[in-house]
Amino acid sequence: MVTSVSFAEDSGVMGEIRECELAEKLIEELEDEAERYFRIGLVSGYEGLRGRVLVMRFARVAGESGGGLSGAKSVTLLGRLLEDGEVVASFTAQRSMGNAYLGGYYRSTCDLLEHVTGELAEDVTDWLRAPTFGALLGDL
Question: Residues 17-45: what's their mean pLDDT?
Answer: 85
Which domain does 58 fall in, by range?
A: 2-138
Q: Which residues pair with 136 in a beta bridge?
A: 92
pLDDT digits (tens, 9 = 90+) for 36-78: 888 777 777 777 778 888 999 999 998 765 544 556 789 999 9
Strands 86-97 vs 135-138: parallel, antiparallel or unpaired: parallel
| Count of structural domains, the chain | 1
Q: How far apart are CA 52 and CA 82, in angstroms?
A: 5
Say yes or no to pLDDT of 134 above 80. Answer: yes
**What's 77's domain CATH number?**
3.40.50
Q: Which positions ≥6 away from 42 have C-beta within 8 Å?
A: 1, 2, 3, 4, 27
Confidence tier at 1 by pLDDT (50, 70, 90):
low
- Quick one: pLDDT at residue 95? 96
d(CA 46, CA 65): 34
